[in-house]
Chain A
Amino acid sequence: MTKITYIAAVGGQSTVEARDGDSVMSTAIAHDIDGITGECGGSMMCATCHCYVDEAWMEAVGPRQDGEEDMLESATCEVKTNSRLSCQIKVTAALDGLIVHLPESQT
């Protein structure tokens, strides 16, 4: 099992066990984590699963997917270099310990 930590914009964090193959978005939904909405269910049709990948994890997570950059433009909160759509980050053993920071709002 791969552990992922979600840190809320207002402080407070949750560490959960993720299933490999799930996305960082669907893992958050399954564990009832506030701050990730995932309105389109992971089809990269909305930007309501915006997250900031912790700087230490940027390399392991890898680059944005094709089209993700464009979709991120409709995110509600500021888009930074470490912004990702969490539905496009697939959980693998290599991401054990991953930390993502959540924006203040998704809508």
Chain B
Amino acid sequence: MRGIVIIGAGQGGFQVAASLRASGFDAPIVLISEEPGLPYQRPPLSKTYMKDGDADRLLLRPASFFERNHIEIVHDRVTRIDRAAQLVTGASGQTHAYDRLILAMGAHNAIPPIKGAGDAEVLSLRTLQDAAVLRSRLADTRHAVVVGGGFIGLEFAAMARAAGCAVTVVEATPRVMARAVSAPVSHAFEARHRAQGIVLHVDCPAAKIAGDHVILADGRKIVGDLVLLAAGVRPNVALAQAAGLDVDNGIRVDAHLRTSDARIFALGDCASFPDPVSGRHIRLESVQAATDHAHTIAANCVGTPKAYDAVPWFWSDQGDDKLQIAGLALEGDTAELIRTESEKFLVFRFRNGFFCSLESINNPSAHISARQLLKLFPHIAYEKIRAHDFNLKQVLAAEKAMAT
């Protein structure tokens, strides 16, 4: 009997298998993993795993879960999708027939066009194996150099600094995390990392990278015991492209997360999906997107049609500071920085005068209120939030009272 084949056993691939079983789906499920071992969580790789080195703690579920739920894990690298025959073929030569196919292939680390960026001596962080190498190297590192001031680069930098290393971060653009957060949040984190003793160069592209040094575009040379390249990721789309599926910054899907072939869905890092708020096709690299996409696909596979409508959320632990993002701001959305009485830091993002996202640091309460507000009342005008002195809990209570 043909069942569901899932390519990719990261957070999203695992979750779609688990959600299918939880929804009563009883046909075969094959989960194809390029990596050895059982599906694991990636977020801790740059944080707790660097400290404790305990790979078992990363497992999404133990082996018994996959056994009792009849989820077959196959270790192989898929080389071809034959849509006409509804068949995937692996490098091993093994084939798997599908009724529905889920593409959960994730992303790979970007190699920027910098001399030496692809060299094996330059370290990267994506997989457990990468993390294990990085961790063993960290043990005798006095100075770590990080190329790229995004989430992964900064999380690693903060962790290495806390472990006692000297750390230098070089970022090519004028501010850290520029793609994902507003300028006030970037600047707040730059100040916090510098206060911890991290040397941070922004607006400072690298001209050459090697395993033990980086040469900046302005000619300066930074020598280190290890060099980590953390320059973002690119979606894994080659298989989909070769199979003739629509691809445009990710595998293009509709609101139900179907690709241009109705039997094939895509999720997580590799999927370009319509943002339910703006309608624009976007790609999100987050646990939230992967898991909520998985829930949506599972529902669509068991005959309860569902459009994806989740409110995005994201977090990044950098040293003792926790950045949280609720909702989604796109380029051009305005940012208003608010400091609350307790000196807690909030950045409200607005699109056309309506609240669309909250970026907060060490303020879980405001973060949750923002998520609830965006979910229940997605059209809240700037004036309304201002009238409540930027207290989202109050806005939420007022809206709930009005709705009843």
Whether B199 sits at the interface, judged by CB under 8 Å, is no
Closest to A31 in B: B62
A45 adjacent to B313 (CB under 8 Å): yes
B35-79 Cβ-contact flags toward A at 8 Å (1 or 0): 000000101100000000000110111101100100000000000
B111 within 8 Å of A (CB atoms):
no
The answer to whether B365 has its CB under 8 Å from any CB of chain A is yes
Contact B315 A45 (CB under 8 A): yes
Report whether A67 and B364 are in contact in the complex, using a CB–CB cutoff of 8 Å: yes
- In whole angstroms, how far apart are the Cα atoms of A31 and B59 in the complex? 11
A45 in complex: contacting residue of B56, B68, B295, B324, CB < 8 Å: B324
Complex formed: what's the CA distance from A90 to B79 in Å?
A: 44
Q: Of B44, B56, B68, B372, which is within 8 A of A30 by CB?
A: B56
B371 interface residue per 8 A CB criterion? yes
Query: Does A73 have its Cβ within 8 Å of any Cβ on chain B?
Result: yes
- Size of the B side of the interface (Cβ < 8 Å), in residues, is 28
List the B residue with the shortest CB-CB distance to A26. Answer: B57
Q: Which residue of chain B lies nearest to A72 when distances are taken between CB atoms in the complex?
A: B368
Of all A-B residue pairs in the complex, the 7 with the closest CB atoms, nearest first, are A67-B364, A70-B368, A70-B365, A32-B64, A41-B41, A32-B65, A32-B62
Per-residue A-contact encoding for B59-102, CB less than 8 Å = 1, 0 else: 11110110010000000000000000000000000000000000
Q: Is A78 an interface residue (CB 8 A)?
A: no
User: Which A residues between 30 and 50 are near B, CB-CB below 8 angstroms?
Assistant: 30-32, 39-41, 43-45
Q: Which of A66, A69, A74 contacts B372 (CB 8 A)?
A: A74
- Judged by a CB distance under 8 angstroms, whether B291 is at the interface is yes
Q: Is B289 part of the contact surface with A, judged by Cβ < 8 Å? A: no
Question: CB of B317 within 8 A of chain A?
Answer: yes
Q: Inside 8 A of B315's CB, which chain A residues have their CB?
A: 40, 43, 45
In the complex, the chain A residue whose C-beta lies closest to that of B42 is: A41
> CB of B272 within 8 A of chain A?
no
Q: How many residue pairs bridge A and B at CB < 8 Å?
A: 54
Interchain Cβ contacts under 8 Å between A and B, 19 examples = A22-B57, A26-B57, A29-B60, A30-B56, A30-B59, A32-B62, A32-B68, A40-B287, A41-B43, A41-B44, A44-B364, A66-B364, A67-B368, A70-B364, A70-B365, A70-B368, A71-B368, A74-B371, A74-B372
Given contacts A30-B56, A41-B41, A43-B317, 6 further A-B pairs with CB under 8 A are: A32-B64, A41-B43, A43-B43, A70-B369, A71-B364, A74-B368
Give chain A residues whose Cβ lies under 8 Å from the Cβ of B365: 67, 69-70
Residues of A contacting B371 in the complex (Cβ-Cβ under 8 angstroms):
74
**Most chain B Cβ neighbours within 10 Å, of A30, A70, A74:** A70
In the docked arrangement, what's the CA distance between A26 and B60, Å?
9
Which residues of chain A come closer than 8 Å to B56, judged between CB atoms? 30
A22 to B56 alpha-carbon distance, docked (Å)? 12
- When C-beta atoms are compared, the residue in chain A nearest to B57 turns out to be A26
Determine the chain A residues whose CB is within 8 A of the CB of B64 once the complex forms: 32
Residues 233-247 of B, flagged 1 when their CB comes within 8 A of A and 0 if not, give: 000000000000000
Interface assignment of A76: CB less than 8 Å from any CB of chain B: no
What DSSP secondary structure best describes chain A's contact surface?
A: loop
Interchain nearest-CB distance for B342 vs A (Å): 11
With A40-B287, A41-B41, A107-B295 as contacts: A32 and B368 at CB distance below 8 Å: no
Give A50-72 interface residues, CB cut-off 8 Å to B. Answer: 66-71
Q: CB-nearest residue of chain B relative to A45?
A: B315
Residues of A within 8 A of B324 (CB): 45
CB contacts under 8 Å to A, within B359-381, are 364-365, 367-369, 371-372
CA distance A45 to B324 in the complex (A): 9
Shortest C-beta distance, B378 to chain A (Å), equals: 16
Distance (Å) between the CB of B377 and the closest chain A CB?
15
Q: Is the CB of A29 within 8 A of B61?
A: yes
Residue of B nearest to A41 (CB): B41
Give Cα A43–Cα B367 distance, bound, in whole angstroms: 13
| CB of B3, distance to nearest CB on chain A (Å) | 22
Q: Which residue of A lies closest to B68 (CB)?
A: A32
Which residues of chain B have C-beta atoms less than 8 A from A40's C-beta? Answer: 287, 315
Query: Given the complex, which residues of A lie within 8 Å of B65, measured CB to CB?
Result: 32
- Distance (whole angstroms) from the CB of B293 to the closest CB of chain A: 13
Interface residues of B in 103-122 (CB under 8 A from A): none
A30 vs B62: C-alpha distance in the bound complex, in angstroms?
6
Report the minimal beta-carbon distance from B387 to chain A, rounded to whole angstroms. 22
Q: Which residue of A lies closest to B371 (CB)?
A: A74
C-alpha gap A67/B367 in the complex (Å): 9
A66 and B64 CA atoms in complex are apart in Å by 34
Q: Which residue of A lies closest to B43 (CB)?
A: A41
Shortest CB distance A16–B (Å): 11
- Closest chain-A Cβ to B267's Cβ sits at a distance in Å of 14
The distance in angstroms between the C-alpha atoms of A74 and B367, with both chains bound, is 12
User: Is A73 in contact with B368, judged by CB distance below 8 angstroms?
Assistant: yes
